Each structure stands twice: as structure tokens, then as C-alpha cells.
Structure 1
Amino acid sequence: MNERRNVRSRNLTNGSMALSTRNSALPKRRELPDKHPQKVKKNKPKHIKYADLKYAPSIDFFSFMGLMAAAVILVLACVGYVKVYNEIKQTEIETRNLNTELNSIKIANDNIENTLYSNIDLENIRKTAIEKYGMVYPYENQVILYKGVTNGYVRQYGALKGNEDIGIIERILRLVNAR
């Protein structure tokens, strides 16, 4: 059976009965116009070597000078920034050193003040004031209490109430009562 198929296929391709597309009964193929015409690919320009050109791209003198002036200004601004930054850092370091010195001086001052107050003999001062200078404690009517202002100061424009002149008899009586 394989032989018959081979023969048949041979006959179709090689004999008088061979089909030809040119002489076929099939209708001829019509060629339709392309809806999208093929785009012609343009070759990308290759890297241009300046040596091959008649005139190489260049910059004129004034543009070059403007570019150089801008570069100089930029460099000067950067240098100025660095100088100011260094000055600020130096000032911060000096401030820290001065604050450290201030704190150590405050501590030393507090220590000296504590030493002075601890060395004061209040009993000796009271005894000297009474014996040597004749000072006495005030009487009850001589002490006037008032509410003080929390901040600021107080001015006295006149005699305080209760400090009027007293007579000689009253003074003698007070001295006798004080002893």
C-alpha cells in the first residue's frame, strides 16, 4: 500500500497531471495595497569624529569667559562657606571651654562661700555687739512687720508707724527692763 501512495504522490508532482500554480484553475491572488506602508529605516548617525568635520563645534570667547566667571564665583562662594563654617565651629568650641571654666569658677566660689559661712562665729559677734558697742535687742513695739515685695525694692519716704519720739522716762524704763 505504501507503494501506491508513493506512486500517486509522484504522479501528482511529476506527471502530466501535476498541479502548477501558474496554470491552475484557482483564481489568481490579488495583491492588496498595504494599509501601513513600510517605513524606511533611517540609519542612525554614527559618532562623528571632529577630525573629519570641516568645523568642529566650539564655544565663543564671551561664552567661555562667562562660564569661567560663573566657576570663579562658585569657588569663592564655597571657600567663603567653609570659612564661615570653621568660624562657627571655633566659636562653639570656645563657648564650651568658657562654660566649663565658668562652672568650675562657680563651684570654687560656692566652696569658698560655704567655708566663710561655716567659719563665722555668730555667738562671738553677738557678745561683742552687746558688750563693746552697747547694743540691745529691740522691744516688741520697736519691730514693725510688713509684707515685702517679692521682687524689686522698697523706698521709705517717712518715719514708720510706731517710731515716734519717746520721752526720757520711757527710755529709762526700757533700759531698766532690758537688763
Structure 2
Amino acid sequence: MAEKRANQSMAYRREPERYYIDGNTARRLNEQPETPKRRNKAVQSRPKQRTVQHKKRVSVFDLKYTLFLVTSVGITLAACFMYLHSSSVLKKNEQAVTALQSQLQTVQEQNNSLKESLNKTIDLDEIYQIATGRLGMVYAGEDQVIYYDSSNNDYIRQYESIPGGK
């Protein structure tokens, strides 16, 4: 194992005009370093102007993009606030409806109890005896009842005589 390490450290053994490689990459023979090419001053000034114009384009694009994002976030926040507001209004209305329904139920119960107490105090047989005995009232006969069709069943206001006949 020590022998293998020694070979690895001596991975590149130089012999005249040849390299021996003990690895997976090889060096290029007669390689020379790249030198940057020189440009004249006119050519060097153009890219700077283009860069400035490019920066202006990028800044305009960035401004439009930023405005779009701000507008999008603003619309989203407004929609969220509108949803929360309508949700709270709906909840308040539901609570008000529930309160009114319970109030209606108690009023109906009171109304029914008052109606029953009034019905208990009224004696229909006594009213019949007073109407027929003291006041001389009688039931209408069959020939005295007139039937007719009305378009409105709830309320009748008589402006002319009722048509005769059965």
C-alpha cells in the first residue's frame, strides 16, 4: 500500500518531451497560455455605451416588473380584506337572524297563550243565547244566502249591489 502511494505522488514523471500520467486526465503537449487580445480604443468604448444602454433597459424593465408585483400584491391584499369584511358581516347577520328567530318564537308562544286564554273566557253558547233570546236574531234561511265568485278572496269592498241568484 505504501508503494501505491509513492506511485501516486509521482504521478507525473518527466522525461524529455513525454509525460506519463497515472490518472484519468492527460495534459496537452506543447500547451501555451492564452494571452488576452488587445482591442483598440474605439472598440473598447462601444461596449461601455452598450452596457449603459443595457442598464437603462434593465432598470426600466425592473421598474415595470416591480410596479406589476406591487399592484398584484395590492390587489391580492384588497381581495383578502374584502373577503374578511364580508365574512364578518355575514357572521353578524347570521347572529342577528338567530336572535330575531328566537324573539319571534317567544312572541308567537306569548300570542298563542293569550289566544287560548281569550278563547277560554269566551262562551259561544252564552253568546248564542243572548243573540237569539235578547236581541231576537235568527239564522239566515236558505233563500236569504247569495253565492258569487270573487277575484280577491282576502278583502271585499262593496261599491254596487251583489248580483242575485244562486
- TM-score between the two structures when normalised by the length of structure 2: 0.49
Higher relative contact order (CA 8 A, sep 6+): 1
- TM-score between the two structures when normalised by the length of structure 1: 0.46
| Higher Rg of the two aligned structures | 1
